[in-house]
Amino acid sequence: MITLHVTSTHPRVLCPRCHVRTLRVHSQYTRTLADLPWGPYAVRVQLRVRKFFCDHPTCPRQIFTERLPTVAAPWARRTIRLAQLLLAYGLALGGEAGARPGPG
């Protein structure tokens, strides 16, 4: 098992509700994500993400977690690229499993 420690430092963070940019960090926490294997080794990513305050006066969302849409879906346990690979494997295996055996 290989563990990668990654911290998001994206400077432009938008509130997902009102889409206004914010800079004020509320807190941080770590998400653990399974990622693509590196050779024969399983890889997990310890991803440090930030929570922000939304300071827009009319926005009902006061605190939100930054979105990383190219890395992982919110609350996902694996990276998008691993999910895509597993989906491709599933489709390939499903195609084989669904094939009817020929006569004789």
| DSSP conformation letters of the chain | -EEEEEE---S-EE-TTT--EE--EEEEEEEEEEEEEETTEEEEEEEEEEEEE---TT-S--EEEPP-TTT--TT-SB-HHHHHHHHHHHHHHHHHHHSPPPP-
If the CB atoms of residues 45 and 54 are measured against Zn ion, the closer one turns out to be 54
Minimum distance from CB of 65 to Zn ion (Å)? 13
If the CB atoms of residues 22 and 79 are measured against Zn ion, the closer one turns out to be 22
Minimum distance from CB of 71 to Zn ion (Å)? 22
If the CB atoms of residues 35 and 66 are measured against Zn ion, the closer one turns out to be 66
Minimum distance from CB of 29 to Zn ion (Å)? 20
If the CB atoms of residues 59 and 83 are measured against Zn ion, the closer one turns out to be 59
d(CA 64, CA 53): 7
Per CB under 5 A, residues contacting Zn ion are 15, 17-18, 54, 56, 59, 61
